[in-house]
Amino acid sequence: MAGTEHPELGDREERWPVARSEDRHRDAWVVALREDWIRRPDHPDDEPFSRLVLEHPGAVVIVAVDEEERVFCLWQYRHPARRRFVELPAGLLDVDGEDPEATARRELVEEAGLEATDWAPIGTTYSSPGISAEIHHYFLARGLSVVDRGGFVAEHEEADMETGWVPAADLLAAVADGRVTDGHTVIALLMAQARGLLGV
């Protein structure tokens, strides 16, 4: 098949010139929407074109696995999709200066009432780079023990969450046949499986 050799396989940092930016929505909440007008590099005379950017601080997702090879799951309602999803413990990178693993440790306590002695990073992905720089860091946690949630009080959708343990093999089967469709849950589980970190 004709064609040139592909560039080096891997994402790379690149910044295109921004002619101007305007906020479309910004308040005290964690996300904001702005509009940027950008140009292609080395084309300074081209007319700038518009792109919407959803600002998001990023998040962590935790695959918490017990000694029976079961994964801790949440069943949570998500209003935009009008569905209750099977999910993994997760949380926003919304504390200044807190590194992703520290956020993951905090969120596992808050959402699951669990601590872990063994942590392994299993990957990082951009959720939807066509509209946002939102980034997710995935971790696998083992050596679990039940702890106090430290005064954390669940509100709104979180107050209605159901929780439970699911055998890893059953959870992966549900991903494969389309019963579990939350993107970050799917990515985290498949990454953990691909790295040989789930004993299934």
Indicate if 69 and 163 belong to the same structural domain.
Answer: yes
What pLDDT was estimated at residue 7?
78
Residue 158 bears catalytic tag: yes
Indicate if 130 and 83 belong to the same structural domain.
Answer: yes
Indicate if 38 and 88 belong to the same structural domain.
Answer: no
What DSSP element (H or E) covers 105? helix 100-112
Tokens standing for residue 136 = 């997710």
In single-letter form, the type of residue at position 182 comes to D
Listed as ranges, residues in the chain with pLDDT below 50 are none
Indicate if 149 and 127 belong to the same structural domain.
Answer: yes
How many helices (H) and strands (E) would you count in the chain?
3, 10
What pLDDT was estimated at residue 170?
96
**Crossing angle of the two packed helices 183-194 and 168-176, in degrees rounded to 10:** 120
Indicate if 24 and 3 belong to the same structural domain.
Answer: yes
What pLDDT was estimated at residue 3?
62
Tell whether 200 is covered by a domain: no
Report pLDDT digits (tens) over 1-55.
556 777 788 999 999 999 999 999 999 888 999 999 999 998 888 899 999 999 9
Tokens standing for residue 178 = 């389309």
Per annotation, catalytic residue among 98, 101, 115, 158: 158
What pLDDT was estimated at residue 161?
82
